[in-house]
């Protein structure tokens, strides 16, 4: 089976070069799409990629022109990065035109099934028009619903109105897909527009190499001998960061709280880091630096508010990253997380400052070996059930079944 994967999958060097100064770098999406690509290949598909890098629009990213680049492996040319004009409107237009042209050229040379990573309008429209022109099917992997994406971005009334129109266009285009791979079954079952489309639930894909030890960079604060609660990701109010910080302070525990990432709470975290000696805000860190801290932490935290509607329609990929590290994980209980995960999580029963404080106090008193034994079991379970190799055949079989 031959697959053309349309999305944002670029190599690590290209990603780091063009997102290093980005206001909101899409690190989690970059990791997940890389695992999805690997899953397709391990599932038996021959995959070539057509990609543009996922970056914020200028001036939130300083690069105006993002160049083309060939993706090459020991097997030869395995994909292409399409050039992108990173300016308002032109960004969407150049992505659409580049993707459509690449699809037409590629499918003339080989009979491939088209699969999109993410419900992004320019790519969806290109795939739909290509499908109409060639009478060929396309599939879409939807890790997040577009209506709940960009939680940390502030928009004007006009942009909010345009976003609503965009969501309707996306719903129309998704309804034309041959099949959809979703991160939560609620995405498909609650949708009026595309609930008739065949779907497969893949809540996330774990990194089977996540436990490899990195050297600890000397540019990072010394973590030796410290019990660290660590959070890495977007530092937005919608993600429960304020409650985590205030709950930590109220707990009076022997932990330190370290956070990294970008978002609308950067100024708040800088102030807390200055005023409280046991809180450190490290700003944005390259993924390899965040991983180095993560593997040496005593506890990893994810404290999203279950009352936020978006949590029903998404699975936090951070959960898989955390669990695969073999470090204990503290999380709130969310509709988008399947029940099978909770035996491996240390659950915050009540989302509030007091509830988080009580959980931290309890974990601080708990036996360390017991916590890490649970974490070790979580990692073993992920390696057996949730890695690219484990889910790849399910994805490829689903596409083969529904491609006619």
Q: What is the mean pLDDT of residues 212-234?
A: 89
For the chain, domain boundaries:
2-205+388-402, 228-385
Length of the chain: 404
Q: For 2-205+388-402, CATH number?
A: 3.40.50.2000
Return the CATH superfamily for domain 228-385: Glycogen Phosphorylase B; (3.40.50.2000)
Residues forming a β-bridge with 72: 77
With cut-offs at 50, 70 and 90, classify the pLDDT of residue 112.
Answer: confident
With cut-offs at 50, 70 and 90, classify the pLDDT of residue 214.
Answer: low
Q: What is the pLDDT of residue 245?
A: 99
Closest among 279, 254, 247 to 365, alpha carbons compared: 254
Q: What is the pLDDT of residue 111?
A: 77
Question: pLDDT tens-digit profile of 325-362?
Answer: 999 999 999 999 999 999 999 999 999 999 999 999 99
Do the domains 228-385 and 2-205+388-402 match in fold?
yes
119 touches 174 (CB < 8 A): yes
Instruction: Please state, in angstroms and rounded to a whole number, the distance separating the CA atoms of residues 3 and 110.
Output: 10
Q: Supply the pTM of this predicted model.
A: 0.88
């Amino acid at each position: 089976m031959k697959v053309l994967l349309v999305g944002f999958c670029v190599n690590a060097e290209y990603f780091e070069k063009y997102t290093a100064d980005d206001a909101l770098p899409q690190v989690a999406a970059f990791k997940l799409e890389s695992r999805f690509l690997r899953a397709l290949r391990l599932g038996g598909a021959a995959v070539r990629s057509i990609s543009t890098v996922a970056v914020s629009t200028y001036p939130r990213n300083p690069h105006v022109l993002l160049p083309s680049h060939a993706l090459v492996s020991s097997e030869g040319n395995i994909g292409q990065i399409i050039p992108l004009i990173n300016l308002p409107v032109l960004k969407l237009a150049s992505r659409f035109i580049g993707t459509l042209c690449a699809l037409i050229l590629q499918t003339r040379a080989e009979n491939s099934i088209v699969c999109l990573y993410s419900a992004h309008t320019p790519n969806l429209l290109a795939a739909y028009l290509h499908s109409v022109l060639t009478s060929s099917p396309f599939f879409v992997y939807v890790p997040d619903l577009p209506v709940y994406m960009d939680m940390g971005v502030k928009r004007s009334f006009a942009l909010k109105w345009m976003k609503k129109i965009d969501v309707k266009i996306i719903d129309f285009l998704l309804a034309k897909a041959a099949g959809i791979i979703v991160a939560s079954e609620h995405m498909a079952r609650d949708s009026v527009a595309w609930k008739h489309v065949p779907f497969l639930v893949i809540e996330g894909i774990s990194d089977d190499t996540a436990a490899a030890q990195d050297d600890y960079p000397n540019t990072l604060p010394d973590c030796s001998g410290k019990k660290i609660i660590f959070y890495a990701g977007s530092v937005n109010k919608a993600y429960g960061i304020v409650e985590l910080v205030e709950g930590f302070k109220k707990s009076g525990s022997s932990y330190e709280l370290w956070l990294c990432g970008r978002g609308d709470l950067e100024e708040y975290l800088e102030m807390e880091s200055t005023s409280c000696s046991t809180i450190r805000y490290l700003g944005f860190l390259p993924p390899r630096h965040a991983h180095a801290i993560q593997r040496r932490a005593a506890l990893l935290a994810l404290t999203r508010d279950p009352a936020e509607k978006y949590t029903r329609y998404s699975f936090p990929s951070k959960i898989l990253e955390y669990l695969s590290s073999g470090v204990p994980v503290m999380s709130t209980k969310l509709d988008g997380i399947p029940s099978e995960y909770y035996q491996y999580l240390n659950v915050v029963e009540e989302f509030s400052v007091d509830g988080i404080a009580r959980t931290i106090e309890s974990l601080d008193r708990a036996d360390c070996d017991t916590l890490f034994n649970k974490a070790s079991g979580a990692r073993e379970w992920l390696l057996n059930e949730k890695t690219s190799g484990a889910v790849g055949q399910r994805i490829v079989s689903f596409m083969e079944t529904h491609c006619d």
